[in-house]
Amino acid sequence: MGTDELDPLPLGADLVMMSHDRNDLESSDCPLCGSGGNPRFLKSRDFLYTKEEFSIARCAACGALYTDPRVKKEAIAKYYPSKYSLYGTEATAKSRFCGLRQTIGAVFGNPNLRILRRLRGSGAKKVLEIGPGDGALLELLRENDFEVVGIETNDECVRRLNDRGIKCLKADLNEAMAFLPVSSFDAVIMHHAFEHLYEPIRALRSISSLLMDHGLLLIALPDAGSWEARLFGQFWRGLDLPRHLVHYDRITIRKVVSDAGFGSIQVVPVAFPSSFVESIGFYLFGGRMPVSLYFMIFYPLKAVSWLTMHLVGSGAIEVSALKLVSPCQDGDKGK
Ligand SMILES: [Zn+2]
């Protein structure tokens, strides 16, 4: 176990720099409805890396929770160290629970297999993932004969994907729009990426233009209205300040997707046991817990996560929606 995996910050320790006078921060109006002057709702901090304190506002008009002030877009990269995944493949491979992980993974499945089944069921062929990270999902989809494209801002992730022969643009969605043909994808996926976007409304409009008629939008993200979020409060992993800019719940995500011209919207809980375990780490250690302890809790929890998700819900949700075709477009087709 590397020492960088143990980074305890005793609770109450005054190591936190108040960030509000820093010039890499900006105050913002509600990213969903534009309403300004909203009161602070909660203070939390960047438990993963900098330990800096940030706050979350609640929009008085639409109820959305959003990080305010937020780090300016041009300064956010330093909050994304290359090792963003805390307990990823590297740490897991070193752990003595590696065999157990593979067994439980085989028995209880993984989120990518669920997405694969969903895409097969939809008849999709060409899939865009925004923020593919390590690219595991795109690789799985390609192995299953989907035509895949990624958009990613992290240099290393882009390089790794391109090395594996997967087309991935080094760009954010706005930049990528210049290169991607409209109405060309059957499905667009954002797996824990949408909550990182500075302009979510604009992004959904862009995605809508990239999708074919009745194309599928799949978004997985933390649920700020979940019991897990309420239980852990400022220590909840799903806040992930300052990287998460909007903290959606079932109501706000449904509304924003609907307003962007999508229909047949379904919002369902998805098992996300790492969020629960990492939240315990934030509470007990003020940051990451030792890797061995993490896996000691994670695997038993993962084994029962399907059951607990159906009994009490989970800290994450998945939204699926179809691009609506406007009546005039339908009419044009009929002519
Ligand atoms: Zn609002």
Domain spans, the chain = 3-77+86-123+181-334, 127-180
| Gap from CA of 30 to ligand 1 centroid (Å) | 5
Q: How far is the CA of 319 from the centre of ligand 1 (A)?
A: 20
Q: Are 111 and 136 in contact (CB under 8 A)?
A: no
* CATH fold of 127-180: Rossmann fold (3.40.50)
Instruction: Find the 48 Cα to ligand 1 centroid distance in Å.
Output: 28
Contact indicator for 275, 229 with CB cutoff of 8 Å: no
Q: State the distance from the centre of ligand 1 to the C-alpha of 32, rounded, in angstroms.
A: 5
pLDDT digits (tens, 9 = 90+) for 248-279: 999 999 999 999 999 999 999 988 888 999 99
Is 3-77+86-123+181-334's fold the same as 127-180's? Answer: yes
Record: fold of 3-77+86-123+181-334: Rossmann fold (3.40.50)
State pLDDT tens for residues 124-174: 999 999 999 889 999 999 999 999 999 998 888 899 999 999 999 999 999
Q: Is 39 left (phi over 0), alpha (psi -120 to 50) or beta?
A: beta
> What is the Cα–Cα distance from 306 to 322, expressed in whole angstroms?
26
Distance 202 CA to ligand 1 centre (A): 15
Task: Calculate how far, in angstroms, residue 251's C-alpha sits from the geometric centre of ligand 1.
Answer: 12
- What is the 29 CA–ligand 1 centroid distance (Å)? 8
**β-bridge pairing 167-170 and 185-191:** unpaired
- The whole model's pTM is what? 0.84
What spacing in Å lies between the alpha carbon of 193 and ligand 1's midpoint?
A: 20
pLDDT in tens, 16-70: 444 445 789 999 999 999 999 999 989 999 999 999 999 999 999 999 999 999 9
* Distance between Cα 61 and ligand 1 center (Å): 5
Residue 42 CA to ligand 1 centre (angstroms) = 16
* Rounded-to-integer distance, Cα 267 and Cα 253, Å: 9
Ligand 1 mean position, distance from CA 57 (Å): 10
Interval between CA 278 and ligand 1 midpoint (Å): 29
Ligand 1 center from residue 36 Cα (angstroms): 8
